[in-house]
Amino acid sequence: MAHSIIIIPNRVMLFVLCFFLTKSLVLIHGQQQVPCTFFMGDSLSDNGNNNLLVTLAKSNYPPYGTDYPGGPTGRFTNGKTVPDFIAELLGFDKHIPAFATAVGSAILKGVNYASAAAGILDETGIIVGDHISLNRQLLNHKATIASLSLLLGPARLKDYLNKCLYAVNMGSNDYLNNYLLPQFYPSSKLYTPDQFSAFLIHQYSQQLKTLYDDGARKVAVFGLGPIGCVPPLLAMYPVNVSGCVDFINDYVKLFNDRLKPLVEDLNTNLPAAKFTYINMTSISLGIFSLPGITVSNYSCCVVGIALCEPYQVPCSRRNQYIFFDDYHPTQVVNQYTAARIYNALLPSDAHPFDIHQLAQQ
């Protein structure tokens, strides 16, 4: 999978995107398919929770939000995120609010708890400052549940939560901002890659069970994407014939190969559980060969340390770039990704359900 720049006409890009998205997008203005949606994750899902934290992991300034209504919000892209598009595809008329700003009856439609730099492990990401780890996100969800109980009444709460959809996208930072930084973290000295993936999955299993115990039944668990293909790692390590850094993607595979059986185990052993595994590696690798995408190894914005430099003008042809900054996709990539998560293009994209199917369970 090469990362050379190949120019392909925009009309081809538009045709292919329409082919993938039309079946999904016709549902945007339809009936809301679940009563609420909750998102947990990192900067790929964050929509403003880091704005008030003391951290370097912030995006509430231009050029972030260049194509988002109202401008910068704390989303790490030029426009909408994958959770934004998923909410639209599920029929929500507004994007799911960030926990930091969700108040009153707004939480009835769900809450986004995601936080840039967050990971499965509490210590992941601390080198950039404060962040809301998955354990803290679970505590924030408990606070939301308490508020929902007041709004709905304890008798209705359990049934309400059982019908809601949950999406959890965690683990990338446990590699990018932990295991792959031996100068700051001891994890790579304490664990082999196989041992580290097992350690992460053990922690993750307890966290997902906590989510279940708090009422979640329909849960989409995202696997890791090919983080060995992000621009900074391409510049840091020798690139293989695949066009990416294979040994890092091998780490990802170790994690994903344990995550899918975990999802199956949860479904087998937890009554009424409807967990599903989203194969982000399969979906993400499809993006690199998507017609219309011409730049896969450079960021669209002017990058400082991983993130966009404030107030610098980004590239004008944003729909041709995979990455807006060094790590985060452009809006057009997020739209394509969400469409494939919602309606699986290949059987390998989701198991046992895509999100459209999960919502109907």
- Long-range CB pairs of 231-240 (<8 Å, 24+ gap) are 231/297, 231/298, 231/299, 231/323, 231/326, 231/327, 232/306, 232/326, 232/327, 233/180, 234/3, 234/297, 239/3
Backbone angles phi, psi at 333, to 5 degrees: -70, -40
Cα dist from 22 to 69, 336, 361, whole Å? 22, 11, 23
Cα dist from 203 to 31, 190, 208, whole Å? 37, 16, 9
Closest CA to 276 of 349, 201, 353: 353
Dist CA 224 CA 219 (whole Å):
16
**Sheet with strand 274-278: strands edge to edge:** 37-41, 165-169, 218-222, 274-278, 350-351
Closest CA to 135 of 187, 170, 110, 101: 170
Catalytic residue set: 43, 325, 328
**Strands 321-323 and 350-351, sheet pairing:** unpaired
Cβ(170)–Cβ(41) below 8 Å: yes
Closest CA to 49 of 98, 94, 95: 98
Cβ(244)–Cβ(188) below 8 Å: no
Dist CA 150 CA 146 (whole Å):
7
**Strands 218-222 and 274-278, sheet pairing:** parallel
